Amino acid sequence: MERPVTERDLKDLQYMNCVLKESGRIYSTVPVLGRNIPEDTKICGYTMPKDATCCILTYLLHRDEEIFPDPEKFDPDRFSAENRVNIPEFAYIPFSGGARNCIGYMFAEIEIGVIICSILRNFTVESLNKVSPVMGVTLHSSEPIRINIRERVVQEVLT
């Protein structure tokens, strides 16, 4: 295929979308979200006072075994059409959620999909090392990620 990957193509790539969502679950861009509580609020029997800061650890939220069994396993099928209905609202929030979610999340999802599809269409990518996530303001790898990239050889089919 010579033409560039488009947003329309992404709609047809159901499994690729599942892979990208599972990647966002395991490696959330922002592993901790902070919010101020606007009024006294009870959470799990504890009173959180007005103006307190509440931290949402998406890194842990996305590893809740009740929602995501075997949470350290990379399993894109969690996000298939038949399985995604079992994921409660706000249990998966790689770009935050609600009224204060990331304004650019839809653009980011499209851009990530187009770039990954474009790379995989033209190259094979192989990991050369195993890295662990390190939590900071953003989630990053414990050491540089080393990969081997080879151009795909397209063979013409003779008819």
Q: Which of 88, 25, 84, 23 is nearest to 59 (CA)?
A: 25
Residue 155 DSSP symbol: P
Ligand-binding site membership of 55 (annotated): no
Output the known binding site.
102
Output the known binding site for heme.
102
